[in-house]
Every structure is written in structure tokens, then in C-alpha cells.
Chains A and B, each alone.
Chain A
Amino acid sequence: MILKYPQEKDKLSQLKAGDIVEFEGVIYTARDAAHKRIKEYLEQGKELPVDFKDSFIYYAGPTPTKPGHVIGSIGPTTSSRMDPYADMMKDLGVVGTIGKGPRSEECTEKYIENHLLYFVTTGGCGALLSKAVQEAKEIAFLDLGPESIKRLYVKGFKMIVAIDYHKNNLFKGR
């Protein structure tokens, strides 16, 4: 299924765990260090450099961009390392996250309770996934290098629905 976001926002509620989605729209990269920094900003009452309301987060840190390319290889990293930040991202208005592997039981419950979506992309397919990135801009925490926050515009970005709005979890029992 093709999903243009935010134009086809209504389709989000129809997604079922196991569906393969070709996503088109904006996603933000953020992984371990960026999540930690966001938490510190919030604790210190500092204004965040990015408004995450209604956004999708991709747990990824690409390779440096080669000349003539839009972005380097950009596959997913292990999502469960970001499980402790589920509440924080929910409070910031994030719609869904994209990564690889199962979430903890506690995190999965939070996603289900709060209508957060979770998608997986195929780990180790960074070269292939980079082809779906049409625009890329480093927008915050540049000192974190590969872990900085980047705004990506993707088209035909292939991901699998893992946690949907109907309490289904693709990793259940796994």
C-alpha cells in the first residue's frame, strides 16, 4: 500500500500489523544520543530545535553522504534501545517510529495505549533504503555526527507495520 503523509492521514487507522507500506513524506532521524539530548533539553526547560508534533521518527544514523548522492546508506538501528523514551516521544506528539526488532513489553503497551504506530524496515539494507530518500537536511545536534537529527523526504520507503491502532503487534510471542 502507498501511504502519503500527511495527505492520507486517514489511512493510518486502517493499517494492520504485517502490512507492507510504501511511505511518502517527511521523517526525522533520531537515535540514542539524540533521544538522550532531547531528554536533557526537556529537563532543563530548553526549547527543542525541532517540532516533533505529528511526525515520524526513524531510528537511524546514516553513513556520510558521498558527493553526488542525496544521503549515505541509511538502514534502521535496533529500536529497543529507544524503548525508555516512549513516553517522552508520545508527549512530543510523535505519530510513529521506524526501526528494527521487537519493543519491550512495557513499551509495546505504551504504544498500544497511546495509539503510537511502530514500523520496521529491513536491517542491513541501508544501501537500498537510501534510494527512497529524495531530500535530506541535517537540522539539529550537528555535533553528534552520525547521530544528528536529519529531516528526510522519502518516497517509496518500504516498511512493515509492526504495531497498529488495533492492538496488533507483529512481534507478539517472538
Chain B
Amino acid sequence: MKTIHEEDIINAVSRLCIDACTYLDNSVLSCLKKAKENEQGLAKDIIAQIIENDELAASENIPMCQDTGIAVFFVELGNQVFLDCDLQEAINKGVAKGYTEGYLRKSVVGNPLTRINTKSNTPAIVHIKQTLSDKLKITFCPKGAGSENMSQVKMLTPAQGINGIKDFVLKVVKDAGGRACPPLVVGVGIGGDMEICAKLAKEALIRDIDDEASDPEARKLENELLELINSSDVGPMGLGGKTTALKVKVNLYACHIASLPVAVNLQCHACRHKEVTL
């Protein structure tokens, strides 16, 4: 049994918040650089600005985007870990610390109807999965509203099948246009029930940008969807071009014989996520 203290979680989460909002992963930057070479005119100019922005943010230690998001966490908690605290509360304390000390924007209102800013960017959204280990793995994904607001869930029927999925994903991307800050990473969750497919889509966004789905059908769908989306001419910032999405990520789960739930979670070009293992 390994003991993990509240203070260690707070400090680790605080660091994750600042790092994720400031330093874009090189793998994402490489994707953007490759996309720039494939573009011309305004589309190329926009991607060049994005790259310049992301490199400037890292060199000056400032957030790459003013929307430093609502704080989303995927946590893997080992069965051999003893926590001396409430995990959710420790994460919230870490978020408040990171967003304050890192000069990150606090973008959370405590009640969606009365809409008063909580001024701490809490509460965070925390998904916990139990594993067989003595580790606590925390993955942080600051999710901006520009892309989140354009995301959708739809309960398709089995008869609609793969074609129905493709039509829906393409429609979501086209409807979002420039609002979701393309070039996007498109997270697609298929299966489960209504809330699980939405979670699958979000979880797809924290996959390594260069990986491929392990399921062969999902992998095929990722490639076909990427081609379809990039032939839509939405383009960088919705002003036309070949790069509407950098990647498509499809995550699957079992579902009811009568159901085909599909969720599309859009991620802007600032595909920010960082992880730590305690």
C-alpha cells in the first residue's frame, strides 16, 4: 500500500494546470507545421500565426490562449493507493492554486442560471477509474468553450450504421465552422449509452495525437472521417483550406442492441493535455 498525501496532489495538479495552458506538446506543434506546408494563402497565414503564438507562449511562459478552460481530469486510481484526503477536493485545491499562481483565466460560474464566477476555476470535472496498481495517474485537459459549445451527442439507430455516423460527424464539424477554432482534433465516441458516449469522445481527445485506434474498424473510420472532414473546405478558422482537422480519434464501447449513440467532442487547435503519475 502506498500513501499519497493531499499536498502532493495539490502541487502536482497546480503544475499540470500551468504547464498544459502554456506549453503545447511538440507532437501537436509538428502536426501544425506539417499542415502549414500543405496550405497556401490565408489558410497558411493563419496556421503560421498559430505556430508563432504557441512558440511565443512557451518562450514567455504565458498562456497560449485566453480561454484556459474548464478543468477536466481523467484519473486512474490504483487499488494499492491510500489517500489521506478527498481526491476531488484535493484536485479542486490544486486547480485553484494553479489558476491563481499561473495567471490563468478563471472561467467557471458556480450556477448555470445565476452565473456568478467562482473566481477559482472550480469545481473541476473529475472522471475516476480504478486500476490494479499502486499508482495515481492524473491527466488534465483544460477545455475551452469555443470548441466545447459546438460539440454534440446523437442517439442513432443501428440501421443508420457507419454512414449515419459519418454524416453526423461531418455535420457537427461543418455547423461549427470557424467557431470551434479549426484546425481541430475531433473526438468521436461511439457506443455505451448517452453519457458514456460523450465521455468516450472527450477521452479520445487526450489520446496521443499521433496514435491510432487499436480496434481495426475504429482505425479505418478515423482515416475515412479525417479525409471527409478535410474535404469540407471549412479550413483554418473556418475561412477555407485543406486543414479542417489535424486528427480524428474514435473511441468505442459496447452498447444496447437497439442503440447507436454517437458523440462528437470538438477540440480546437490548442490540443492541450498533460499527465502526471504519483
Contact = CB atoms under 8 A, between A and B. Distances in A.
Interface in B79-106: 103-106
Given A77-B67, A124-B268, A128-B52, A102 B119 contact: no
B83 to A, nearest CB: 31
Nearest to A127: B57
B262 interface: no
B65 A73 contact: yes
B53 A128 contact: yes
Does more than half of chain A's interface fall in helix, strand or loop, or is it mixed? loop
Given A63-B105, A124-B270, A73 B66 contact: yes
A131 B57 CA distance: 11
B107 interface: yes
| Interface bin, chain B | 35 or more
B146 A73 contact: no
Interface string B34-66: 000000001001100110111011001011111
Given A66-B103, A128-B49, A145-B106, A174 B178 contact: yes
A53 B67 CA distance: 29
A101 B49 CA distance: 16
A66 B62 contact: yes
A61 interface: yes
A27 interface: no
A64 B49 contact: no
Contacts of A151: none
Contacts of B234: 174
Given A75-B65, A127-B60, 7 more contacts: A66-B103, A73-B57, A77-B146, A101-B177, A123-B268, A124-B270, A127-B63
Interface of B: 42, 45-46, 49-50, 52-54, 56-57, 60, 62-68, 103-107, 115, 117, 119, 145-146, 149, 177-179, 181, 234, 237-240, 268-270
Interface of A: 18, 20, 33, 60-66, 69, 72-75, 77-78, 80, 100-102, 120, 122-131, 144-147, 158, 160, 170-171, 174
Question: What are the nearest 6 A-B pairs in CB distance?
Answer: A101-B179, A123-B181, A128-B53, A127-B57, A101-B178, A126-B66
